[in-house]
């Protein structure tokens, strides 16, 4: 099978690495790709924002299957366009991608189908939103409705912060994404992520993971795209996984189908484990980054037939086997991230892959044949071990073998899982 992978992050490097191991694969192409992905795929310069060009590339290259990594092309309708052209594609339609593209859409679906989530209201102007917040009190959560690169959420501990967040949204801090706002009850508990494939009528649960969103050790400082992750997430007991499937994921699948937009792709559920059980914080409609990196390290099965079955409505014919071990990834970012950072700084050395440890590339590029950092999140040092503590130790050994002066990372990824191992 000839496959085209869309995307250029650490998530796509992990997908490329895993797809490349498939005996069913005859050729792997990637666009836009990165130097890590280039170890496993032929890089294409087709513009992924030009849907007609992507279709033309698939026809010219006789691509059998397209795997879309990031959310932006899904929300823009790339999967619809490819399917219309007769090309099998992994990833939801634009209509179904509203689960990630519009927080209000997801909250309304939860209300319609009784899916546990925080109480909420949607607002199109500041004064009504503020009146509601004043009536509810803090803590309270303010969310720009649309895609805001992970930055559109304010967990306001005080009334002042909450009102300021409303002004930010309606003053255009998140562009069109902030033209509508969701105000939501604050949920307290431990967070976890759950990944499940869906072909529209069948579900295939994958695995649990937990990420670290804050930039600083001890989960302090501003939010980022994710500074590290591990899988499994020990907070997700088998009972909580079963409840997540029956109370959240299955009703979402049925509701989306009933509402005329069957979901095909990966449900990435952000959960809060509250006193009442799992509650939905948000959906993403693609693999997490860096959660995908740890999932791929734990997946024993061949990824390609699983994703193909998902895309062709035959998910009931496949299973996914997992290593019991813990996988843990540490994100190395450019100094200054998530604020301003220098681009083009040299990366002098990356340790070679071992069967239990691998560095995935995210924001890297080749400049005059030398590897440089071009993004905020740049490398993902990923390792597996029999415990979270051992996986962490191996991941940091990998980190310490990386020579990149302008990089930094958190030093405590996985601490909650390790605390659970040593109560
Ligand atoms: P999101 O961009 O929706 O993932 O939100 C970013 C982060 O905000 C989440 O990972 C949570 O830590 C936090 N958050 C979002 N919604 C809530 C909520 N209703 N209660 C408490 N924390 C929340
Ligand atoms: N790591 C969080 C995300 O991919 O959205």
Over residues 256-293, the pLDDT tens digits come to 999 999 999 999 999 999 999 999 999 999 999 999 99
Residue 161 has pLDDT above 90, yes or no: yes
Q: What mean pLDDT, rounded, does the chain reach?
A: 95
* Atom nearest to 287 CA in ligand 2: 4
| Domain chopping of the chain, boundaries | 2-93, 125-179, 190-317, 326-421
Residue 172 has pLDDT above 80, yes or no: no
Q: Quote the CA–CA distance of 135 and 155 in Å, as a whole number.
A: 17
Q: CA angle, 263 as apex, 250 and 363 as ends, to 5°? A: 110
What confidence tens digit (pLDDT) does each residue in 110-154 have? 999 999 999 999 999 899 999 999 999 999 999 988 877 767 889
Domain 2-93 annotated CATH 3.40.50.620: no
288 C-alpha to ligand 2 centroid (Å):
4
Q: Indicate which ligand has the atom closest to the C-alpha of 288.
A: 2
In 3D space, the residue among 330, 337, 328 whose CA is nearest the CA of residue 406 turns out to be: 337
Residue 30: its pLDDT value, please? 98
Q: Indicate which ligand has the atom closest to the C-alpha of 229.
A: 2
Q: Quote the CA–CA distance of 120 and 82 in Å, as a whole number.
A: 36
Q: Is 270 in the pocket of ligand 1 (CB under 6 A)?
A: yes
Q: Quote the CA–CA distance of 215 and 89 in Å, as a whole number.
A: 34
Residue 150: its pLDDT value, please? 66
What confidence tens digit (pLDDT) does each residue in 174-229 have? 777 767 899 999 999 999 999 999 999 999 999 999 999 999 999 999 889 999 99
Instruction: Quickly list DSSP for 120-143.
Output: EEEESSHHHHHHHHHHH-SSEEEE
Residue 183: its pLDDT value, please? 94
85 C-alpha to ligand 2 centroid (Å):
30
**CATH fold for domain 125-179:** Dna Ligase; domain 1 (3.30.1490)
Q: Where does residue 250 rank: exposed (0-12), middle (13-18), buried (19+ CB within 10 A)? A: middle
249 C-alpha to ligand 1 centroid (Å):
18
Q: Is 153 in the pocket of ligand 1 (CB under 6 A)?
A: yes
Average pLDDT over residues 67-73: 96
What percent of the chain is modeled with pLDDT above 90?
91
Torsion on CA atoms 169, 175, 176, 179, rounded to nearest 10:
20
Residue 327 has pLDDT above 80, yes or no: yes
CATH class of 326-421: alpha beta
Contact 187, 210 (CB under 8 A): no
Q: How many CA atoms lie within 13 A of 397 on its CB side?
A: 15
Average pLDDT over residues 323-339: 97
Residue 145: its pLDDT value, please? 86
* Atom nearest to 152 CA in ligand 1: 2
Q: How many CA atoms lie within 13 A of 297 on its CB side?
A: 34
Q: Which CATH superfamily is domain 190-317 in?
A: ATP-grasp fold, B domain (3.30.470.20)
What percent of the chain is modeled with pLDDT above 70?
100
Average pLDDT over residues 11-25: 98
Pocket test for ligand 1, best of 105, 142, 153, 185 (most atoms within 8 A of CB): 153
In 3D space, the residue among 139, 137, 223, 126 whose CA is nearest the CA of residue 181 turns out to be: 126
Please provide residue 33's backbone torsions phi and psi, each rounded to the nearest 5 degrees.
70, -175
Contact 92, 82 (CB under 8 A): no
């Amino acid at each position: 099978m000839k496959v085209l992978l869309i995307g250029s992050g650490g998530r796509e490097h992990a997908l490329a690495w895993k797809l490349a191991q498939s005996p069913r694969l005859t050729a792997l192409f990637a666009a836009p790709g990165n130097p890590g992905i280039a170890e496993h795929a032929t890089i294409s310069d087709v513009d992924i924002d030009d849907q007609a060009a992507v279709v033309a590339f698939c026809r010219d290259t006789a691509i059998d299957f397209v795997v879309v990594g990031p959310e932006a092309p899904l929300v823009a309708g790339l999967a619809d366009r490819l399917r219309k052209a007769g090309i099998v594609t992994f990833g939801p339609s634009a209509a179904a991608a509203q689960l990630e593209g519009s927080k209000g859409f997801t909250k309304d679906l939860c209300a319609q189908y009784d899916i546990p989530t925080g109480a909420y209201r949607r607002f199109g102007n500041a004064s009504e939103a503020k009146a509601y917040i004043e009536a509810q009190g803090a803590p309270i959560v303010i969310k720009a409705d649309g895609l805001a690169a992970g930055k559109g959420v304010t967990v306001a501990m005080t009334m002042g912060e909450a009102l300021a967040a409303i002004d930010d949204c309606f003053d255009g801090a998140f562009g069109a994404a902030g033209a509508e706002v969701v105000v939501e009850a604050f949920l307290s508990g431990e967070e976890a992520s759950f990944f499940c494939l869906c072909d529209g009528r069948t579900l295939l649960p994958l695995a649990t993971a937990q990420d670290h969103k804050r930039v600083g050790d001890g989960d302090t400082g501003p939010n980022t795209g994710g500074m590290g992750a591990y899988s499994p997430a020990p907070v997700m007991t088998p009972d909580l996984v079963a409840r997540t499937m029956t109370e959240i994921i299955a009703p979402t699948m049925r509701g989306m189908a009933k509402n005329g937009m069957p979901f095909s792709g990966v449900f990435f559920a952000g959960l809060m484990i509250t006193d009442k059980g799992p509650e939905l914080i948000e959906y993403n409609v693609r693999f997490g980054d860096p959660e995908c990196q740890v999932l791929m390290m734990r997946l024993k099965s061949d990824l390609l037939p699983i994703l193909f079955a998902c895309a062709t409505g035959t998910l009931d014919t496949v299973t996914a086997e997992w290593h019991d071990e813990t996988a843990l990834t540490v994100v190395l970012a450019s100094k200054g991230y998530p604020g301003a950072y220098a681009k083009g700084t040299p990366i002098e050395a990356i340790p070679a892959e071992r069967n239990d440890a691998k560095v995935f590339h995210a924001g890297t590029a080749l400049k005059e044949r030398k590897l440089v950092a071009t993004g905020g999140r740049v490398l993902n040092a990923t390792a597996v071990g029999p415990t979270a503590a051992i996986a962490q130790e191996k991941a940091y050994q990998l980190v310490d073998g990386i020579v990149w002066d302008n990089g930094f990372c958190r030093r405590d990824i996985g601490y909650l899982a390790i605390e659970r191992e040593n109560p």
